[in-house]
Amino acid sequence: LYALQPETGAIGWTVNTGGFVTSSPAIGADGTIYVGSASGRMYAVNPQGGVLWTFLAGDGIDSSPAIASDGTIYFGCDDRTFYALTPEGALKWRFPTGGRIFASPAIGSDGTVYVGTGDQRLYAISPEGTLRWSYFTNGDIQSSPVLGADGTIYFASTDANFYALNPTGDDDSRVKWKTDIRATTASTAAVRGDGVIIFGADDDKVRALNPADG
C-alpha cells in the first residue's frame, strides 16, 4: 500500500501487506485507512503509515471495504464469507455465501448492506448480520452495486443483464426492471445527479440508462 504526496507524487510511506493488493482502500472519518490483501488480511493503517491492526480472514480479499456510519468495516472474501469488523479490528459477525466475493458492498440509508457474489446472488444483509433477502440472477455478480437516491439497487451480472432492484417489498415486486446489455462483464456503475446510470462494459461501449425503465 502506497501513500503519495499530493504536491509532487513522491512516496510518503509504504506498507507491505504480504500479498497482492487488488482492492481499493477505504478511509474512515478519523483518517484510518483500511485495505485488504491476497494474504487474507484486512489492514488498518494510520495516516502516518503505521499498522494499527490486522484481521486474518479465510482467504484472499479482493473486495474493497465499505465503512458504515458507526465505523463498522464490511468486506467480502474469497472464502465465500462476508465479514463485519469493529473499528478496533474485532469480528462482529460473518455471513456465509455460496460463492467467492469479488464485488465491494454498498450500504443503504437504513444500514442494510448489499453485496453480490459468485453464487449469482445479490444479498441484502442487516447491520446485525442476518439475511433480509437475496435475489438470484443467472450469472456471477462481479461488479459492485450502487444505490440511487430512492434506494434502488443497480448492478450488472455476467448473465448480460443490468438490474434495478427495489430495496423493500416482496420477491414478486423485487425487480424494478432489468435490461439486456449484451455484454457479460460491466463496470461498477455511477449514478448521475439526475438519476441516470452510467457504466462501461466489455463490448467497448459506455452506456447511460434511464432510471425509470432501464
pLDDT single digits (tens) 38-91: 999 999 999 999 999 999 999 999 999 999 999 999 999 999 999 999 999 999
Residue 86 has a CB neighbour count (10 Å cut-off) of: 13
pLDDT, residue 171, reads 85
pLDDT, residue 99, reads 95
pLDDT, residue 63, reads 93
Alpha-helical regions (H) of 76-201:
none
Determine the average pLDDT of the residues in 125-154.
96
Q: Which residues is 68 bridged to in the sheet?
A: none
Contacts of the segment 107-112: beta carbons below 8 A, 24+ positions apart: 107/66, 107/68, 107/74, 108/147, 108/151, 108/167, 109/151, 111/68, 111/69, 112/167
Report how far residue 100's alpha carbon sits from residue 102's, in angstroms, rounded to the nearest whole number: 6
pLDDT, residue 187, reads 93
Report how far residue 120's alpha carbon sits from residue 78's, in angstroms, rounded to the nearest whole number: 14
**Is residue 169 predicted with pLDDT exceeding 90?**
no
Query: Are 92 and 75 in contact, with CB atoms under 8 Å apart?
Result: no
